[in-house]
């Protein structure tokens, strides 16, 4: 146990899951949760997953916390961190769970107290569901959590946070913020953007009614609808804060899609076969990595 007292700001799927996992795996003695939603605070209280719940005002809890985890939407992370800054306990570790790291590191550069250790983080885990009721302690089991500490970050603070996430069941990787954002743009952000677009296109087709789209949905389309059911506020913020990396990946995708379009137009079966064989191999490697 590296941290005795934990404050989670934002009690949704990720925040409530952290609270459950930290309690179940004995990673801290006291758990506090703060949330701006009165309904969420009521739900958290009824679930009994925290020792104290604050309706938006977390100063008292922040003064006691050894570890503060920000689980708010990405666009509010920097503001939330600065609002808490005067109240944080000296020596506390401040982290987050946002999907974009470079934007946050840049927004807080030079603005944090010298006695606070800022270690940005991103647990790569989640579901299409949201809210305190959707959380569960096993969410982080064998899932990656990427930490992106800025240069000069206290090494003990980083080591303590690594131990915390491993204690929740996560696999932990330390990475440069910009590299993290490009990797996530490739493996997560672009697929979500494609899913939102494809589902929107299918629904908007004049020749296919909504009822028929639902009735004849094949497995592939259903997979896209699952991704497109993710929290719209969170994904709006992700795309706006990871704009550069996402746009680069969109441009690459358009180029690759145009090449496939050309192959179909000119009956280039060899090109199609070669491309599909390569992507099938990637699928096998992903499944093997997941088993490992």
Q: What is the pTM of this model?
A: 0.86
Shared-domain flag, residues 154 and 211: no
Residues 39 and 110 in one domain: yes
Domain span holding position 208: 179-291
Going residue by residue through the chain (292 aa), what tens digit of pLDDT does each one get? 799 999 999 999 999 999 999 999 999 999 999 999 999 999 999 999 999 999 877 899 999 999 999 999 888 999 999 999 999 999 999 999 999 999 999 999 999 999 999 999 999 998 777 889 999 999 999 999 999 999 999 999 999 999 999 999 999 999 999 999 999 999 999 999 999 998 888 877 756 666 777 777 777 788 888 888 888 888 898 999 999 999 999 999 999 999 999 999 999 999 999 988 888 888 788 777 765 5
Report the CATH number at residue 141: 3.40.50.720
* DSSP single-letter state for residue 126: -
Domain boundary among 159, 175, 191: 175
Query: Do 29 and 166 belong together in one domain?
Result: yes
CB 115 within 8 A of CB 94: no
Q: Are 125 and 143 in contact (CB under 8 A)?
A: yes
209/280 same-domain check: yes
How many folded domains does the chain comprise?
A: 2
Same domain, yes or no: 189 and 161: no
230 and 110 in a common domain: no
Whether residues 115 and 183 fall in one domain:
no
Please tell me whether residues 188 and 170 are part of one structural domain: no
Q: What is the DSSP letter of 87?
A: G
One domain, residues 54 and 114: yes
């Amino acid at each position: 146990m590296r941290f005795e007292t934990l404050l989670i700001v934002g009690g949704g799927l990720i925040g409530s899951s952290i609270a459950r996992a930290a309690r179940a795996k004995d990673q801290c003695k006291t758990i506090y949760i703060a949330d701006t939603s009165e309904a969420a605070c009521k739900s958290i209280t009824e679930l009994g997953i925290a020792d104290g719940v604050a309706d938006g005002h977390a100063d008292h809890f922040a003064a006691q916390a050894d570890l503060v985890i920000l689980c708010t939407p990405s666009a509010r992370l920097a503001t939330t961190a600065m609002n808490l800054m005067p109240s944080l306990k000296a020596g506390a570790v401040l982290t987050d769970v946002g999907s974009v790291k470079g934007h946050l590191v840049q927004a807080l550069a030079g603005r944090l107290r010298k006695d606070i250790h800022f270690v940005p983080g991103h647990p790569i885990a989640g579901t299409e569901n949201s809210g305190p009721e959707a959380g569960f302690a096993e969410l982080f089991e064998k899932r990656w959590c990427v930490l992106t500490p800025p240069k000069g970050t206290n090494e003990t603070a980083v080591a303590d946070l690594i131990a915390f996430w491993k204690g929740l069941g996560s696999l932990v990787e330390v990475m440069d913020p910009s590299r993290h954002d490009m990797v996530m743009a490739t493996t997560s952000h672009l697929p979500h953007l494609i899913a939102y677009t494809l589902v929107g296109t299918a629904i908007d087709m004049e020749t296919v009614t909504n009822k028929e789209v639902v009735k004849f949905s094949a497995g592939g389309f259903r997979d896209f609808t699952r991704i497109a059911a993710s929290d719209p506020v969170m994904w709006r913020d992700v795309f706006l804060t990871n704009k550069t990396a996402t746009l680069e990946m969109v441009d690459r995708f358009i180029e690759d899609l145009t090449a496939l379009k050309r192959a179909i137009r000119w009956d280039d079966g060899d090109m199609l076969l070669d491309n599909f064989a390569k992507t099938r191999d990637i699928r096998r490697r992903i499944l093997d990595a997941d088993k490992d």
